[in-house]
Each structure stands twice: as structure tokens, then as C-alpha cells.
Amino acid sequence: MKATWNGATLAESDETVVVEGNHYFPANSVNRAHFTQSAKQSVCPWKGTASYYTVEVDGKRNEDAAWYYPEPKEAAAEIRDRVAFWKGVTVGE
């Protein structure tokens, strides 16, 4: 699977985990050059507290377009150290 936005590959891996229709990429498959930490957080009752990244490619910013769970609850342990995408990021083969 590959995550792309604005012509750049943000992540690529054959080992994504799908939860609620979202592909969670291993953290080591993410191109960190395009990511900055965001202050945004959200809470899921069964996964825990999510943190976000803003994606930037060629001067264009996509606020909070990637998220991860730094300390997922036990029910979501499989997404520890993984990143998922939304807000116009294309995820596909």
C-alpha cells in the first residue's frame, strides 16, 4: 500500500493494518521529511488518544492529515507505532 498527497509518497508498506477502513502504516515506512507534529488530539473510546501530524509537500500544507496512537488501549494494540491518513491523502496499491 502507498499513501500519497500532492505528488509525494508519504508512506509505503506491504504490512499495513486495517482498522475501521483505515490503513495504518508502520512508523518506519513514513517519509518523515513531509511531517510536522500538530497540537491536535482526539479521543476514541476503544483506541485511546490520537495525536496528529501536518503534512507539507512543495510548500502546500495539509493540516492534521495523519494520525497515530502513541499509547493505544489494549484493544487497539495492533496499531501501536503506526500512522494512518485522511483529508485528501490517497491510500491504495
Residue 29: domain span: 2-87
Is residue 44 domain-resident? yes
**Does residue 23 belong to any structural domain of this protein?**
yes
Is residue 83 included in any domain, yes or no?
Answer: yes
CATH code at position 35? 2.170.150.40
What is the distance between the alpha carbons of residues 70 and 50, in angstroms, rounded to a whole number?
7
Number of separate domains in the chain? 1
Helices (H), 20-78: none
Residue range 5-20: mean pLDDT, rounded: 98
Q: Is residue 27 included in any domain, yes or no? A: yes
Report yes or no on 92 lying in a domain: no
Residue 93 lies in a domain: no
pLDDT digits (tens, 9 = 90+) for 28-66: 999 999 999 999 999 999 999 999 999 999 999 999 999
| pTM: predicted TM-score of the whole model, two decimal places | 0.96
d(CA 5, CA 2): 10
